[in-house]
Amino acid sequence: MESEYKYSLTNYKPYSYDETRTGDGCLTEVYKIYDAWLSKQTSFDAKNKLADLIFRRIGITFAVYGEQSGVERLIPFDPIPRILSSSEWEKINAGVCQRVKALNAFLNDIYTSKKILKENIIPSDLILQNSEYTRAVENFIPPNNVHTHISGIDIIRTSPDTFYVLEDNLRCPSGVSYMLENREVMSRLFPELFKKYNILPINHYPHELKKTLKASAPNELDNPRIVVLTPGIYNSAYFEHAFLAAQMGVDLVTGADLFVGKDNCVYMQTIDGAERVDVIYRRIDDNFLDPEAFNPNSVLGCPGLYRSAMQGKVTICNAIGNGVADDKAVYPYVPKMIEFYLEEKPILENVKTYTLSKKDDCTYVLEHLSELVVKETHGSGGYGMLIGPKATKAELEEFRTKIKAKPSNYIAQPTLSLSTSPTLQEEGLAPRHVDLRPYALMQSPDKVTVVPGSLTRVALKQGSLVVNSSQGGGTKDTWIVGNQENTHA
């Protein structure tokens, strides 16, 4: 039988730090307000069905690699929002901006004067011998000194005041379309909530993105031609590429639509002939961007793009060579970058990281494997990862062998208890672990914008700490609730 208080947050029992609770276990102010509405709900069945229908109709699907081709799946969507107060958001926002500024300064530095290496703040070998360090862009200065136009910073929370950055994504961070579509769907499902609460809008993200891309144009053109470069419809993020191109009103191109002319400028093939391209928001990795300069077997890119970019005829966003700054082996040094370049104290915490190429760290990790999380330095998407406390004996042994064979391939971190957030399950609300990915846009090294929202990913399996969609994760809408005095209620 449906009971009236099935969804009440006061009856909801988290087992570890939960987003709805203050330090002393009470409901936070923002969740109190939401609970007033939530506790009156008796069923989400109809809303869930509608959400599913909307997502399928608009075709927000992703292809799972390794599954039968052509299979398209929806990322599970949870209708219970993750809510942050504006003061919590201020801290995240400031922390993200700070971090992105430092990382951009780092990229500017290591590809030119290398001050941070010369002053021994970061070991030179770690950078210069890093496979992500791109010699081909040494001494190249991108327009406005911006390398990191678009960044996605993965954050987890372990207590009301503690936010850790788990990972910086400075190459082609994806997921922003889910942030925007989740909001769209939530506002269709629960219009009454949006009328009642002061939820800060995020729909201007594509507008901000376009401003950022415009600002990156070579020679400060007034009306540069911007394109989004996609690998094509079989890429798992194709929906996002098409979505962003449509929202910005720019062309969505594949490598085959582009060519580099004798003048080293980039052109696209149109029905009226060749047209000049000034800015490429690429969603293709460095390695596949230009078969002439990088992987010669790539069919996704366009020969000559690198050459054109180096001559300042086109801007590639994000810049080539960013991978070295979000490398997991470089991650432990981000707090030092913040101090070195900005002379500030880091606002967001860094997770204690063991670099296995260091002998002491490696010994420690091998002794404490069952307590730690081990990651491949170049891995992503939650693949190639060991979660010690959840691993079987065989898995632990397998990783032990792998680590011993090539320690520099791995880093290890303590297993952090990610915060949980109430998530809809058959029996009612249950705590599930979440992370947070805000998106930062950089127009110039001192101007970073973060729209007041994020992608919240949720590990749907009970107790799971892996939120990646490729590993059974889902998403939630993320609300930043402004001052309640401004509400229309």
Partner 1 sequence: MLSRTADNIFWMARQVERSQGTVRLLEAAYRMEQLPESENIWEPILFISGQKESYYKKYDELSSQNVLKFMIFDHENPSSIFSCLKSARENTRTERSILPEEMFESINTTWIESQSMYYDGILKSGFTEFFDWVKDRTELFRGLTVSMMVYDAAFQFARLGTYIERADFTARLLDVKYHLQSKGANRELIDYYQWGEVLRSVGGLHAYKMLYKQDIRPDKIAEMLIFNPIFPRSMISAYNEIITSLTELKKQSTSLNLAYQEQTFLETSNLEEVLKTRTLHKFLTDFIGFTADLSDQIRHDFMQI
Binders in 193-232 for partner 1, by CB under 8 A: 228, 232
Stretch that binds partner 1, among 200-208, 246-254, 315-323, 445-453 (CB under 8 A): 246-254
- Enumerate residues 6+ apart whose C-beta is below 8 A from 59: 72, 239
| Contact residue for partner 1 among 22, 26, 43, 59 (CB under 8 A) | 59
| Contact residue for partner 1 among 90, 184, 208, 257 (CB under 8 A) | 257
CA dihedral (229, 232, 238, 244) in degrees, to 10, reads: 30
Structure token pair of residue 43: 């069923």
The type of residue at 149 is H
Q: How far is the CB of 227 from partner 1 (least distance, A)?
A: 9
Nearer to partner 1, 61 or 417 (CB): 61
Q: How many residues bind partner 1 (CB under 8 A)?
A: 24
Nearer to partner 1, 62 or 89 (CB): 62
Q: How far is the CB of 253 from partner 1 (least distance, A)?
A: 6
Q: Does 57 bind partner 1 (CB under 8 A)?
A: yes
Q: Does 253 bind partner 1 (CB under 8 A)?
A: yes
Between CA 103 and CA 135 the distance in angstroms is: 18
Stretch that binds partner 1, among 97-105, 236-244, 352-360, 417-425 (CB under 8 A): 236-244
| Contact residue for partner 1 among 40, 49, 56, 368 (CB under 8 A) | 56
Nearer to partner 1, 49 or 358 (CB): 49
Q: How far is the CB of 49 from partner 1 (least distance, A)?
A: 14
- Check: CB of residue 373 under 8 Å from CB of residue 414: yes
Structure token pair of residue 241: 């590429």
Between CA 315 and CA 227 the distance in angstroms is: 11
- Check: CB of residue 176 under 8 Å from CB of residue 240: yes
| Contact residue for partner 1 among 245, 266, 365, 450 (CB under 8 A) | 245
DSSP for 431-456, written as a single string:
EEEEEEE-EEEEEETTEEEE-S--EE
Q: How far is the CB of 314 from partner 1 (least distance, A)?
A: 17
Q: Does 233 bind partner 1 (CB under 8 A)?
A: yes
The DSSP output letter for 27 is B
Between CA 93 and CA 143 the distance in angstroms is: 25
| Contact residue for partner 1 among 148, 151, 254, 475 (CB under 8 A) | 254
Q: How far is the CB of 213 from partner 1 (least distance, A)?
A: 15
- Check: CB of residue 439 under 8 Å from CB of residue 454: yes
Q: Does 292 bind partner 1 (CB under 8 A)?
A: no
Q: Is the peptide bond before 483 cis (omega within 30 degrees of 0)?
A: no
Q: In the stretch 267-286, what mask flags binding to partner 1 with x, by CB under 8 A? A: -xxxxx--------------
Nearer to partner 1, 198 or 254 (CB): 254
Q: Does 246 bind partner 1 (CB under 8 A)?
A: yes
Q: How far is the CB of 296 from partner 1 (least distance, A)?
A: 23
The type of residue at 114 is K
Other Cβ atoms closer than 10 A to 406? 11
CA geometry: angle 114, 120, 121, nearest 5 deg: 90
CA geometry: angle 441, 447, 451, nearest 5 deg: 40
Nearer to partner 1, 210 or 432 (CB): 210
Structure token pair of residue 327: 């490398």
Q: How far is the CB of 257 from partner 1 (least distance, A)?
A: 5
Start-to-end C-alpha separation, the chain = 33
Between CA 119 and CA 114 the distance in angstroms is: 9
CA geometry: angle 426, 430, 435, nearest 5 deg: 120
Q: How far is the CB of 79 from partner 1 (least distance, A)?
A: 21
Nearer to partner 1, 55 or 163 (CB): 55
Stretch that binds partner 1, among 54-62, 81-89, 203-211, 411-419 (CB under 8 A): 54-62
| Contact residue for partner 1 among 58, 64, 128, 299 (CB under 8 A) | 58
Between CA 388 and CA 228 the distance in angstroms is: 40
Q: Give, in order, the Cα–Cα distances in Å from 177 to each of 62, 238, 484.
A: 12, 10, 27
Q: How far is the CB of 74 from partner 1 (least distance, A)?
A: 12
Q: In the stretch 146-165, what mask flags binding to partner 1 with x, by CB under 8 A? A: --------------------
Stretch that binds partner 1, among 98-106, 242-250, 388-396, 415-423 (CB under 8 A): 242-250
Structure token pair of residue 371: 């307590």
Task: Give the footprint of partner 1 on this chain (CB under 8 A).
Answer: 56-59, 228, 232-233, 238, 241-243, 245-246, 251-254, 256-257, 268-272
